Structure 1
Amino acid sequence: MKVTPEADEKMSKMKFFSVYPHYVKKVERKGRTKEELHQVISWLTGFSEDEIQKMIEDKVSFAEFFQKAKLHPNASLISGSICGYKVEEIEFPISRQVRYLDKLVDELAKGKKMEKILRSS
């Protein structure tokens, strides 16, 4: 599937705080922790625990969220399909970055080892 400009705009306007509880629920349902989720978010974005919480409280959009982020240099190693899209083929930066996060959350929920999720081995 290919991301359209309209879908990219919709994703860019989506609020991080509205998706965040779904991330927490997904990982906790599979026996992982909120702390591990924050470790994954921090790895991808460079945000501290306090900065993640501030993004939630400020109800920032995904566009604002990723504009403030300092993506990890190994983020481009994230590949595979998520929600029917091949992450590495998404041309719109915000959509690709949101799908990076979705992919990492999915890997965490599936029980992958943290070293693999964080592309450190």
Structure 2
Amino acid sequence: MADACPCGRLDARGRPLPYAACCQPCHDGQPAPDAEALMRSRYSAFVRQNAAYLLATWHPTTRPATLDFEPAQRWLGLDVRAHRRTDGTHAEVEFVARSRVAGRGQRLHERSRFVCEAGHWFYVDGDML
């Protein structure tokens, strides 16, 4: 599917959701409903090199001043392994993101931490697994 969302989310029939019905609303300003949706939208933002969205959804206490992309990096897929709320405003998402740079495969396996403030989820930090 040409317009499939980069995050790989599937509908109830197992078909890829289109970007317009998945991560695009978050990229256009709609708050993510939960930490998993935010994490998926952030992955899609990396694929689309949307630095403004990534910085806006990064908690101010851990946000870098700037964000650069690896020009030769090609994102290949996302696998969300687990998502759990740790309390009313905190959650964790474990995922594996695969990419290729200069012909070499890379795998990012992380357990990310998120916080919800004033109805908006933010990425805080994560541990590499």
Q: TM-score, normalised by structure 2?
A: 0.26
**Higher relative contact order at CA 8 Å, sep ≥6: structure 1 or structure 2?**
1
> By percentage of residues, which structure has more strand?
2
Give the structure with the higher percent helix. Answer: 1
